[in-house]
């Protein structure tokens, strides 16, 4: 009789535990993943280029802002200097070509820092995560500093890495990132700061642009920035 009661209690306990685990799992699913957007047709979510008006000789007369409210001229990856690609990866995501779209250690570090009493803000977002956040998450969620957003961002980044090549992701990132001075993408940034096409940027110019997305407003260089002229021999005497 006692054995039967124990078995019954054990069975009831197992059923209750299974029910709680199922309810928890469903709750987490609906909290985190149920409304995640699809990663298909990622390029279709990118902003349309600015409308440009040229004269009959091919000279630009006027550029009408894109939906971003700034200049935006997408280019293919082969039109972006390798220096700029490498500098961007070095600054934003050193393990870009090896990681699965997110960096678990960086996320854990960011979470640990952000739960401290007086946290120093830590991002921990890879290039793929930043692209997922900017193109896939709704505007009201992009600025959230929360565990939920980090997990959703990481899941989307993982899906992007499975559905797109690294070069496709890098090309989209370089074309959608804000570089300050109302310039979205490297081509618009090259025109805004150096009055040239992205393909014509030199090493120093690539290094400067690669650092701008970290904090565009306070680090935006002057539109009239030019490389300093070498000192003449007479000036050193």
Phi, psi of 178 (to 5 degrees): -90, 130
Q: pLDDT-derived band of residue 218, with 50, 70 and 90 as boundaries?
A: very low
The pLDDT score that the predictor gives to residue 98 is 93
Residues 6+ away with beta carbon under 8 Å from 176: 46, 47, 131, 134, 135, 184, 185
Rounded to two decimals, the pTM is 0.76
Q: pLDDT-derived band of residue 46, with 50, 70 and 90 as boundaries?
A: confident
Q: Which of 37-51, 54-68, 145-159, 207-221 has the highest mean pLDDT?
A: 145-159
Lowest-pLDDT choice from 34-38, 50-54, 55-59, 194-198 = 50-54
Cα(155)–Cα(136) distance, rounded to whole angstroms?
Answer: 12
Each residue's pLDDT tens digit, 69-87: 678 889 999 999 999 999 9
The pLDDT score that the predictor gives to residue 31 is 62
Each residue's pLDDT tens digit, 182-212: 889 999 999 999 999 999 999 999 999 999 9
The pLDDT score that the predictor gives to residue 18 is 81
Q: pLDDT-derived band of residue 105, with 50, 70 and 90 as boundaries?
A: confident
Averaged confidence pLDDT in the chain = 79
CB atoms within 10 A of CB 32: 15
Check residue 3 and give left, alpha or beta (phi > 0: left; psi -120 to 50: alpha): alpha
Each residue's pLDDT tens digit, 158-185: 999 999 999 999 999 999 999 988 889 9
Q: pLDDT-derived band of residue 5, with 50, 70 and 90 as boundaries?
A: confident
Percent of the chain predicted with pLDDT > 70: 71
pLDDT over 70 at 1, yes or no: no
pLDDT over 70 at 114, yes or no: no
Q: In this structure, are residues 206 and 83 in contact, taking their beta carbons and an 8 Å threshold?
A: yes
The pLDDT score that the predictor gives to residue 209 is 95
pLDDT over 60 at 230, yes or no: no
């Amino acid at each position: 009789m006692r054995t039967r009661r124990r078995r019954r209690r054990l069975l009831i306990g197992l059923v209750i535990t299974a029910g709680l685990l199922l309810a928890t799992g469903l709750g987490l699913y609906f909290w985190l993943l149920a409304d995640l957007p699809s990663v298909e047709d990622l390029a279709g979510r990118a902003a349309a280029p600015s409308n440009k008006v040229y004269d009959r000789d091919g000279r630009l007369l006027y550029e009408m802002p894109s939906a971003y409210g700034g200049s935006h001229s997408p280019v293919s990856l082969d039109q972006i200097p390798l220096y700029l690609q490498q500098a961007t990866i070095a600054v934003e995501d050193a393990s870009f070509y090896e990681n699965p779209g997110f960096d678990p250690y960086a996320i854990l570090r960011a979470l640990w820092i952000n739960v401290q009493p007086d946290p120093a803000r830590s991002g921990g977002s890879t290039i793929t995560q930043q692209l997922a956040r900017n193109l896939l998450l709704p505007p009201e969620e992009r600025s959230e500093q929360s565990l939920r957003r980090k997990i959703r961002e990481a899941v989307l980044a993982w899906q992007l890495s499975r559905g797109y090549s690294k070069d496709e992701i890098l090309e989209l990132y370089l074309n959608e990132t804000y570089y300050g001075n109302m310039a979205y993408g490297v081509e618009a940034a090259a025109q805004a700061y150096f009055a040239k096409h992205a393909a014509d940027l030199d090493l120093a110019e690539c290094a400067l642009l690669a650092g701008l997305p970290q904090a565009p407003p306070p680090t935006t260089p002057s539109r009239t920035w030019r490389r300093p002229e070498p000192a003449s021999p007479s000036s050193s005497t």
